[in-house]
Structure 1
Amino acid sequence: MNNILPSNNWNTTLYEDKHSFVWQYGENLLQLLNPQPGELILDLGCGTGQLTEKIALAGAEVMGIDHAPAMIEKARQNYPHLRFDVADASNFHVDQPLDAVFSNAVLHWVKEADQAIASIHQALKPGGRFVAEFGGQGNVEAIAKALYGALEAIGIPKAQIVNPWYFPSIGEYATQLEQQGFDVIYATLFTRPTPLAEGAAGIANWIQMFASTLLAGLSAEQQMHIIHVVEQYLKPTMYQQGTWTADYRRIRIVAIKV
């Protein structure tokens, strides 16, 4: 089942070098998790393992899973003392019940949210906690609008443009959690403008990393044209003093298995 990420072929060098904000912004999510020595914790969608390592440093027994084999391979290289496995967020199983499932910047790739929630619920002990942050309603709205517009302008019908993301409202996501046996004790949706690395190349790097499925099937020339059109459209509002800033909106959730 290929549904945690738009592609299994993630460029881990690009991810680590140009998009370190993904886990750097996740560090204060660890305060919500508050891992304790001896706890069993799963890092769901661990990427290249930076936050998994921080959970381990708190004394917890932690394992990381990700759907992308390249990410897991890199995580194992980065932190050979930790356990990392390839697994699907919407259909994973654990050896023994967990104290917590932690997930940063992953669940907006998982359109089968109900299946992911069921897997998370099954993995937790009664009273276990689910702590997550991911893209919420309105996330990258300006970037997505620019991309869709540029694709339509070169003759791609709107009906053929498949949105690769899942950005729910708090109400939508909390309701799904409650329906599957969670008590939602904390939920917030907030705007988080996110500066991108590499100066003028920032938005092009972002598109190539996180919106590559929208460009799939286009020639290299068409892809560069799309990126150029998006840059010109967004530049007046999102490029200042040599830095691109993405229009992120994030959901944070803490839920307890009843």
Structure 2
Amino acid sequence: MNETKSNEWNAGHYDQKIGYVSRLGQSLIGLLQPAEGERILDIGCGTGDLAWEIARSGAHVTGIDSSEAMVAQAAAKYPSLSFRVDDAQTFRLQPEEAPYDAIFSNAALHWIRRPADAARSMALALRSGGRLVAEFGGQDNIAEIYQGIRSALESAGIDADERNPWYFPGIGEYASVLEAEGFHVRTAELYERPTPLGDGAQGLRNWLDAFAGKFFAGMTEPEKEEAYVRCEAAVRGKLLRGGEYIADYRRLRITAIRL
């Protein structure tokens, strides 16, 4: 979900341990207001749960994700829907495809390190008057977790900034990206969303396994274990509450119309 090429995705782990991503994206479907017969593109569809919820409206949904593992899992779970492996930065309509009525994206666009290319892809995929509804990590998202990762890797002689796969823009920055590609931004909100990671004290490790693999690439298992321990120690005081880690999420929620 995702410029997922920057992270190795384990679809089974995602469904079993990171289910809150789709659950918390449910409210975004209310903003989308999908209608029967509409053609809707889900960018960064992951394992397909939200695409399925959108399709229950009677809309025709296509999900794309750059992770083969995620798309395979989505197709196995929801065989009546259309999923394919594709990159949001280079996605283009097939010659036989009509433009979409709407684009939906949850927890994906912060994996896109070339946001202008993704905005161009979205504009080209939408009909005039088509709508974009998206939510993803915004400015200062997971600031405490990231500092924990930086601290852990610094002890191992690794510069976390050089491995950072994420893009967390502010409202003005991302609105400008969309407007440059022919969108009219209707609403934009950057808000705090503290997110329980579940699974007790194991929750942070589940999160690191799912989303932070690039930072720990090349480490032996003992080196990775030491880095995880250091990261937990760095964030425990601020993020561990009642035996559970609460991630310091800040989300950017955008609705826009293609002119």
TM-score (norm 1): 0.96
Q: Displacement, 1:6?
A: 4.4
| Structure 1 equivalent of residue 36 of structure 2 | 37
> For residue 212 of structure 1, what is the amino acid of its counterpart?
G
| Structure 2 equivalent of residue 245 of structure 1 | 246
| Structure 2 equivalent of residue 67 of structure 1 | 66
Deviates more, 1:6-15 or 1:115-124: 6-15
> For residue 239 of structure 2, what is the amino acid of its counterpart?
M
Alignment of 1:1-258 (within 5 A): 4-7=3-6, 9-94=8-93, 95-157=97-159, 161-258=162-259
Q: Partner of 2:36: helix, strand, or coil?
A: coil
- Aligned partners of 1:76, 1:45: CA distance in 2, in Å? 14
Q: Displacement, 1:218?
A: 1.2
Superposed CA RMSD: 1.2
- Aligned partners of 1:201, 1:92: CA distance in 2, in Å? 36
Q: Displacement, 1:96?
A: 1.1
5+ residue gaps in structure 2? Answer: none
CA displacement, residues 135-188 of structure 1 (integer Å, 9 cap, x when unaligned): 0000011010111111112222467x3211000001000011111110000100
8 Å CA contact retained: 2:7, 2:214: no
5+ residue gaps in structure 1? Answer: none
Indicate how the Cα distance of structure 1 residues 8 and 231 shifts in structure 2: closer, same or farther if over 3 A, else same: closer
Indicate how the Cα distance of structure 1 residues 153 and 211 shifts in structure 2: closer, same or farther if over 3 A, else same: same
CA displacement, residues 45-80 of structure 1 (integer Å, 9 cap, x when unaligned): 100000001111011111111100111110011001
- Aligned partners of 2:136, 2:55: CA distance in 1, in Å? 22
Deviates more, 1:248-257 or 1:196-205: 196-205
Q: Partner of 1:81: helix, strand, or coil?
A: coil
Indicate how the Cα distance of structure 1 residues 138 and 175 shifts in structure 2: closer, same or farther if over 3 A, else same: same
Indicate how the Cα distance of structure 1 residues 194 and 83 shifts in structure 2: closer, same or farther if over 3 A, else same: same
- Aligned partners of 1:136, 1:6: CA distance in 2, in Å? 20
- Aligned partners of 1:6, 1:92: CA distance in 2, in Å? 14
- Aligned partners of 1:85, 1:118: CA distance in 2, in Å? 19
> For residue 205 of structure 2, what is the amino acid of its counterpart?
A
Which ranges of 4 or more aligned residues in structure 1 deviate by more than 3 Å?
6-9
**What is the percent sequence identity of the aligned residues?**
46
Q: Partner of 1:137: helix, strand, or coil?
A: coil
TM-score (norm 2): 0.96
8 Å CA contact retained: 2:7, 2:211: no
